[in-house]
Amino acid sequence: MTTTLYTSDHEWLAIDGDVATVGITDYAQSQLGDVVFVELPKVGRTLKKTEAAAVVESVKAASDVYAPVTGEVTETNAALAAEPALVNSDAQGAAWFFKIKIADKSELGGLMDEAAYKAHTA
Amino acid sequence: MLSRDDQYSLKKTPLHGLHVSLGGKMVPFAGYDMPVQYPAGVLKEHLHTRSAAGLFDVSHMGQLALRPKSGRIGDAARALERLVPQDIVAIAPGRQRYAQFTGADGGILDDLMVANFGDHLFLVVNAACKEADEAHLRAHLSDDCIIDSLTERALIALQGPKAEAVLAKLCAEAPAMKFMDAGPHKVAGIACFVSRSGYTGEDGFEISVSAGDAERLAKILLEDPDVRPIGLGARDSLRLEAGLCLYGHDIDTATTPVEASLEWSVQKSRRTGGTRAGGFPGAEKILAHFDQGASRRRVGLRTEGRAPVREGALLFADATSVEPVGKVTSGGFGPSLNAPVAMGYVPTSQSALGIKLFAQVRGQRLAVQVAAMPFVKNTYKR
């Protein structure tokens, strides 16, 4: 059973046990426009909550993707290097960015559920 | 972020309502509320312009008429030569030329187009500089010219390989025009100034039309299935692939035309030994750059990987050196090349094609190579 939470910076996290799969929201991709390049963190890197973890570039601009929680990166999505446009076509599915082992589950308390995120982007 | 007051004070072009009705995503640009893209998005808009025809609203740019008080066009041309290093006298009636206003220290105050309309000169200048340009013209040319700011006009660019065929249906003379021809023509029965020029590297036209007729004309052009509206996002990626300078980024008051690799735009008559050599602001420095060379140059840059190298990235001679040798002034992703492209300033000694440099992006040194511009071959009808 996974739970999906959201940050105010437009990342989503699908939480399964102590591992979170992280990506950017469909709202975020619609604001960015055509994604042409994604830079992912190295597996094994420890990220601090709100630290710049990845970069997503559209034709026009580069945007940081922040770590939504503190933890170690356990896996990254190799498909994004070959096909950055996946971020536009399936932001909250196939275009996940990385998986992170959550160091402190209490950090999840400050994140939004889907209803709160919808209100945030309304 | 803009304050609410700033948002309310943004100016609107005569096509603003049309942009909104077409789903344009509106952003502030040079004091105007402008479409950065339409629902198709920057990538598709860019590629559509290169394969068919794109319609751009560039009405935010400044349009001015310089009318000689003497009634002789040569007097207006000679007067304008006091402010630009170009040969204006040699622009034949019905022709247009690229020019720069230079400052006393040789820097570029703005870049512009100058057309000879027979009895007056017609100028198109950048939106962000237009008030300063008008004041500059009034301060220096008022004895010789009446300076009319044509604020009640819109400017529409139609660019791409299908532009000629599209415009031919509405303006029979359009196909006979050559690159940089300019003059009054009727388009769909509407009185316009039409030039065969643009800012995309593609063949195309720029059409100046009265504000009151602008929306009607834009809608007629958009009725053609080959024409789609294109926002400022794709305008920027198109001009970058074409190797064209963006004022305030690739050229500014700290760059001379020689440093900017714009020597081609300064005719021999205004250079040392020419018939009207010098006589423009900053001539001493600019001519010295022509005669002795400048220490740095604007060059094109290509990367090895897919990570775009953007404006502001510092350039280094090798992977570990501490002191930068130059800086990227425009950079992004070129949709037609499907690869990153950039331009920037490097030491002249390191400006030869193929020279390898490193750009610092997010703390990493990415290999870049000095590359020929335009990155995408231009298709002007000469």
CB contact under 8 A, B43 and A59: yes
CB contact under 8 A, A55 and B362: yes
Q: Which of B237, B307, B362 is closest, CB to CB, to A59?
A: B237
In a domain? residue B381: no
At B371, is the pLDDT very low, low, confident or very high (cuts 50, 70, 90)?
A: very high
| Residue in chain A lying closest to B305 (CA) | A37
Tens digit of each residue's pLDDT (9 = 90 or more) over B244-282: 999 999 999 999 999 999 999 999 999 999 999 999 999
Q: Is the pLDDT of residue B4 over 50?
A: no
Q: Which of A34, A55, A61 is closest, CB to CB, to B43?
A: A34
pLDDT score at A2: 84
Q: Is the pLDDT of residue B206 over 50?
A: yes
User: Which of B276, B293, B310 delimits the end of a domain?
Assistant: B293
Tell whether B300 and B167 lie within a shared domain. Answer: no
Tell whether B4 and B84 lie within a shared domain. Answer: yes
B24 touches chain A (CB under 8 A): no
CB contact under 8 A, A60 and B42: yes
C-beta of residue B38 within 8 angstroms of C-beta of residue B22: yes
| Closest of B241, B268, B220, B278 to residue B104, by C-alpha | B278
CATH of the domain at B308: 2.40.30.110
User: Which of B293, B324, B352 delimits the end of a domain?
Assistant: B293
- Residues of chain B contacting residue A62, judged by C-beta atoms under 8 Å apart: 308, 310
- For range B357-361, the mean pLDDT: 97
pLDDT score at B1: 42
Residue A51: left (phi > 0), alpha (psi -120 to 50), or beta? beta
- Residues of chain B contacting residue A57, judged by C-beta atoms under 8 Å apart: 307-308, 333
CATH of the domain at B187: 3.30.1360.120
Tens digit of each residue's pLDDT (9 = 90 or more) over A8-62: 999 999 999 999 999 999 999 999 999 999 999 999 999 999 999 999 999 988 9
Residue B137 is encoded by which pair of tokens? 């013209």
The DSSP code for B182 is E
Q: Is the CA virtual torsion B136, B264, B352, A37 positive or negative? A: positive
Domain extent for B33 = 1-293
Q: Which of A33, A39, A59 is closest, CB to CB, to B307?
A: A39
- Give dist(CA B274, CA A80) in Å, integer: 57
Percent of chain A with pLDDT over 70: 99
- Give dist(CA B310, CA B374) in Å, integer: 18
Tell whether B81 and B204 lie within a shared domain. Answer: yes
Q: Is the pLDDT of residue B3 over 90?
A: no
Tell whether B106 and B253 lie within a shared domain. Answer: yes
Q: Could you give the ipTM of this predicted complex?
A: 0.87
- Provide the chain B residues 40-79 that lie in CB contact (below 8 A) with chain A: 41-44, 46
- Residues of chain B contacting residue A33, judged by C-beta atoms under 8 Å apart: 37, 41-43, 233
At B234, is the pLDDT very low, low, confident or very high (cuts 50, 70, 90)?
A: very high
In a domain? residue B155: yes
- For range B225-231, the mean pLDDT: 98
pLDDT score at B7: 56
Tens digit of each residue's pLDDT (9 = 90 or more) over B47-95: 999 999 999 999 999 999 999 999 999 999 999 999 999 999 999 999 9
Tell whether B289 and B331 lie within a shared domain. Answer: no
Tell whether B307 and B241 lie within a shared domain. Answer: no
Tens digit of each residue's pLDDT (9 = 90 or more) over B144-167: 999 999 999 999 999 999 999 999
| Residue in chain B lying closest to A31 (CA) | B25
Cβ contacts of B94 within 8 Å, gap of 6 or more: B116, B117, B118, B181, B182, B183
Tell whether B96 and B172 lie within a shared domain. Answer: yes
Q: Which of B37, B333, B341 to mutate to test the interface with A (most CBs of A within 10 A)?
A: B333
- For range A76-85, the mean pLDDT: 95
Q: Is the pLDDT of residue B12 over 90?
A: yes
Domains: count for chain B: 2
- Residues of chain B contacting residue A58, judged by C-beta atoms under 8 Å apart: 42, 333
- Structural domain boundaries of chain A? 3-103
CB contact under 8 A, A55 and B43: no
Tell whether B201 and B320 lie within a shared domain. Answer: no
Percent of chain B with pLDDT over 70: 98
Q: Which of B42, B303, B336 to mutate to test the interface with A (most CBs of A within 10 A)?
A: B42
Tell whether B136 and B162 lie within a shared domain. Answer: yes
CB contact under 8 A, A57 and B236: no
Q: Is the pLDDT of residue B5 over 60?
A: no
Torsion of CA B43, B49, B54, B56, to 10 degrees: 70
pLDDT score at B6: 54
The architecture of the domain spanning A3-103 is: Beta Barrel (2.40)
pLDDT score at B2: 46
Q: Which of B233, B307, B340 is closest, CB to CB, to A60?
A: B233
Q: Is the pLDDT of residue A80 over 50?
A: yes
C-beta of residue A56 within 8 angstroms of C-beta of residue A24: yes
pLDDT score at A1: 67
At B286, is the pLDDT very low, low, confident or very high (cuts 50, 70, 90)?
A: very high
- For range B327-331, the mean pLDDT: 98
Question: E strands, A25-111, where?
Answer: 35-39, 46-47, 52-58, 62-66, 71-76, 98-102
